[in-house]
Structure 1
């Protein structure tokens, strides 16, 4: 299959590099354009990958400074407030995937989609780890006939910085939206102040202080399951693996409550664990989204539309690839 290069805007960062590795592990010949403002940095990253080329991105130019160079998809690894990557993708009719905006910043993207709904597939990749949370949650949800409560608790190891771009994005999100989008008794509310503070138990049972986070997972999971109560919290501390003397990892605790397929009460607790932290897990998600968008998986290419990551990811295939990387969806004892 002949494919034009995939443009990685901000591809020289940690998540961009891990995405390239995950994609190349399954499809070694996929060509890549590693785009950034610093050509030397992009060249250093591209030099590590056969078939990759570094390019300078000019967000003020309609063609991003790339001229008539063809691309097959655009992935944005930073907050593209000008939506330069989206405009570029729509004009060329190629898929667009961005992973860094907050739930409060999606209106401009939705507006651009509504004015050109047939232009290209657009993925709102702002779910935690770009779909790792929702794919796993909806996989577990198959045990339920009805889901009433969904609670997601993400533990980020304090050593898992993710690079300067990730740190800058989080600083922006926390500054602009200190309240946490939550669904409570069927109504969307905003938790703030002391009402946003909470605790959860890590994989090893350690109590972690956490705060509410406005992840788009809340809106997506509420729509997908009909759950009346959905919340997302983040805690930063020492991951369970590091407390055991191993390298740091990342953990996503998933708790569901409702009724099973026979109508009996059911409560489950699982954890998505990746032994190398947030960047490789996010990179795996982005790589598999690109596979689906471009039909690299042997299925038809994704048609124009507006998508959540979980609408494109095959949960079984995702969890299989996660296991191959040393991660897992682990069933935990219900507290």
Structure 2
């Protein structure tokens, strides 16, 4: 039988009132027995969806952050077959809400959003561990084309059409490739934008280029009509000096707090949700600032 690794035991001890437990996906109770569970969070891909079935059987919220947009059908079908069982969150937006929550807050300046372009810069030193790498290899293998909304139609960009360039915070041009983030679907359907694309680049972050530690950068460009009907273009960056992991962890923590009602409000009702549908934007942005992150207004190019 597998053993709980030292990092899991160490994390549980540091968290307090926690346990490191081996999960057995072949068992209906995941090997948890009678342990009380308030919610299930899947940080890496569970191809069996045993964790989702377990959450539904216990009527507790379920949050998955590692699926690809091309493979949501099994999760959607599970909710459709048991719509009243649990709140299920498709949390595989980039960094679990770090793109959509700020973007939708910025979109309030617009009466009509025509286009949204997302450019994400992942620093070469911010790659995560081997399991993160395995998840990305899996996604890149099965999802070589990038789901994009262009001029009102859904398209898959591939080969040369998937190549893109965006400017980092310091103005450096970043070679990027289209990525099928579910952010594209969420932003397009929530804003009505006719064109939405998501591009992912890897290199040196703006902070490291000036001699500081690496950071994560999410560039959000929008154009449309402002509240008075005049043309409006904006360009902002979501930045966190700790890289991708702190933003991901913050999104998960805030979602769990909201899902099970730890914020003093009633728990989220059963259903199928994007993170931004249940996260309070003002609360999210306040936590972002508290943890050293920020939303920067950038000059138009």
TM-score > 0.5, shorter chain as reference: yes
- Corresponding residue to 1:287 among 253, 257, 269: 253
| Aligned residues of 2:4 and 2:20 also touching (Cα < 8 A) | no
Q: Counterpart in 1 of 2:48?
A: 82
Structure 1 runs of 4+ off > 6 angstroms?
none
**What is the CA–CA distance in structure 2 between the aligned matches of 1:280 and 1:62, rounded to whole Å?**
32
1:207 paired residue among 173, 176, 195: 173
1:31 aligned residue: none
Q: 1:122 aligns to what SS in structure 2?
A: strand
Which of 233, 238, 245 is matched with 1:267 structurally? 233
Q: TM-score, normalised by structure 1?
A: 0.88
SS of the equivalent of 1:319 reads helix
Instruction: Return the match for 1:55 from 14, 17, 21.
Output: 21
The Cα shift of 1:106 comes to: 0.6
Work out whether 1:170 is the aligned partner of 2:136: yes
What is the CA RMSD across the aligned residues, in angstroms? Answer: 1.0
Instruction: Report the Cα distance in structure 2 between the residues aligned to 1:155 and 1:37, rounded to whole angstroms.
Output: 36
Kept after mapping to 2: 8 A contact 1:146/1:260: yes
Deviation (angstroms), 1:314: 1.1
Q: Normalising by structure 2, what TM-score?
A: 0.98
Q: 1:248 aligns with which of 214, 219, 230?
A: 214
1:112 counterpart residue number: 78
Counterparts of residues 104-253 of structure 1 (less than 5 Å): 104-253=70-219
Distance in 1, matches of 2:5 and 2:139, equals 28
- Structure 2: unaligned runs, 5 residues or longer: none
Closer/same/farther in 2, CA of residues 37 and 186 from structure 1, 3 Å limit:
farther
In the alignment, is the contact (CA less than 8 A) between 1:37 and 1:57 conserved in 2? Answer: no
> Per-residue deviation at 1:313?
1.0
User: How many residues are aligned here?
Assistant: 300
Give deviations 1:44-68, integer Å, cap 9, x for gaps: 2212222111111001110001112
- Shift in Å, 1:40: 3.7
Deviation at 1:221, TM superposition (A): 0.6
* Structure-1 separation of matches of 2:31 and 2:265: 32
For residue 327 of structure 1, the aligned residue among 288, 293, 296 is: 293
Mapped contact 1:181–1:218 kept (Cα < 8 A): yes
